[in-house]
Amino acid sequence: MIGIMRNYTQLTEEQRYQIYEGITLGLTQAEIVEELAVNRSTISRELKRSPTTMEKSSQVMWILQRRVILRLTSPTHIALGEGA
């Protein structure tokens, strides 16, 4: 029996940061899947594989915190917030 060949690509470091950033911001796995356009099992496996990655790396935490601050203080975010 010949199996179906599937193309698998590894997550990039940026995608991993985005996954943990999403979790930190309280997004659901489904929302993260939609944002990254990857299979839902990819997110699930990544979280199971390395659930404490953020705690182990203060550099990752600093990057995530900095991105949140930059997003919240960006002119686009502020302009959108004022019009609501």
Residue-level pLDDT, tens digit, the chain, 84 residues: 566 766 777 888 888 888 888 888 888 889 999 999 999 998 888 888 765 554 555 566 677 777 888 887 877 655 555 554
As a whole number of angstroms, the distance between CA 20 and CA 17 comes to 5
Question: Does any domain span residue 79?
Answer: yes
Question: Does any domain span residue 3?
Answer: no
Question: Does any domain span residue 5?
Answer: no
Question: Does any domain span residue 30?
Answer: yes
pLDDT at 34: 93
Question: Does any domain span residue 62?
Answer: yes
DSSP-derived secondary structure letter, 74: S
pLDDT at 76: 66
Question: Does any domain span residue 4?
Answer: no
How many domains does one find in the chain?
A: 1
